[in-house]
């Protein structure tokens, strides 16, 4: 038997308390309804690819360098090898770090559609937890402050530290499957920004087969 609960199709046959265990269709269509139905009072958000359109900004910079016309949806690997024509192996670590802390990046970066109003609506229960270099994390905080969200708790982490060290007592939304798999959050949703129907299309989204969302 199939029903709808919190905007998600699921099998009635398997539930553990109030947690959904097995889904017929694991897409969260209405995140606000999901939050309300599950009485969630704490929300943890990743930043790159969830709050902001980082790949789009990188592509815009790369296109200006190369004279190409790539879109964020063309990026499928961590080293941007699909769009970087300077080296067939993709960008080196220093180039990537320089791009993510570049002044142009933080001038052109855009919100994910609908996320700004979502954060404003739930700002009292939201915490942002994101990874980056020291400079990248600094600019992320400055950007959030300039957007009027300097009061939102911000947890910046280096890449070699797992988000699992944080006791997430509510809903965790991230695009990175590894972060989701390691987290102890009782509710976890993967945000897919490019309408990918198969979440193994990108290196960071593969191996997650539970709840997903495409829209704020």
* Alpha-carbon distances, residue 99 vs 38, 46, 54, 64, 188 (angstroms): 39, 19, 10, 13, 29
Helix and strand numbers, DSSP H then E, in the chain = 7, 10
Residue 68: the pLDDT is: 97
Tell me which residue of 87, 92, 99, 93 sits closest to 57, measured CA to CA. Answer: 99
Residue 137: the pLDDT is: 97
Residue 95: the pLDDT is: 96
In the three-class reduction of DSSP (H, G, I as helix; E, B as strand; rest coil), residue 45 is classed as strand
Burial of 49 (0-12, 13-18, 19+ CB in 10 A): buried
Residue 201: the pLDDT is: 81
Q: What angle do CA 153, 169, 214 make, to 5 degrees?
A: 75
Considering the entire predicted model, what is its pTM?
0.87
String of b and e for 183-195 (b: at least 16 CB within 10 Å)? Answer: bebbbbbbbbbbe
Tell me which residue of 170, 175, 146, 142 sits closest to 156, measured CA to CA. Answer: 142
Domains of the chain (ranges, CATH numbers) = 28-51+111-213 (3.40.50.1000), 54-108 (no CATH)
Tens of pLDDT along the chain (216 residues) come to 333 334 443 333 334 344 443 444 789 999 999 999 999 999 999 999 999 999 999 999 999 999 999 999 999 999 999 999 999 899 999 999 999 999 999 999 999 999 999 999 999 999 999 999 999 999 999 999 999 999 999 999 999 999 999 999 999 999 999 999 999 999 999 999 998 776 668 999 988 999 999 999
Six-digit token string for 48: 């790159």
């Amino acid at each position: 038997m199939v029903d709808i609960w919190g905007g998600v199709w699921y099998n009635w046959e398997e539930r553990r308390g109030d947690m959904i265990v097995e889904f017929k269709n694991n897409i969260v269509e209405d995140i606000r309804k999901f939050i309300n139905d599950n009485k969630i009072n704490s929300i943890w958000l990743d930043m790159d690819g969830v709050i902001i359109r980082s790949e789009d900004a990188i592509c815009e910079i790369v296109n200006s360098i190369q004279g190409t016309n790539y879109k964020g949806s063309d990026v499928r690997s961590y080293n941007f090898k699909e769009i970087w024509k300077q080296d067939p192996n993709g960008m080196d670590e220093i180039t990537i770090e320089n791009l993510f802390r570049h002044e142009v990046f933080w001038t052109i970066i855009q919100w994910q559609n609908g996320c700004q109003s979502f954060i404003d609506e739930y700002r009292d229960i939201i915490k942002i937890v994101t990874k980056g270099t020291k400079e990248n994390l600094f600019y992320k905080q400055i950007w959030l402050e300039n957007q009027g969200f300097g009061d939102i708790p911000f947890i910046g982490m280096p890449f070699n530290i797992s988000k699992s060290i944080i006791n997430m007592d509510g809903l965790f939304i991230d695009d990175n499957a590894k972060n989701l798999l390691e987290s102890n959050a009782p509710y976890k949703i993967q945000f897919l920004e490019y309408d990918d129907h198969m979440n193994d299309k990108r290196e960071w989204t593969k191996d997650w087969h539970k709840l997903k969302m495409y829209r704020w």
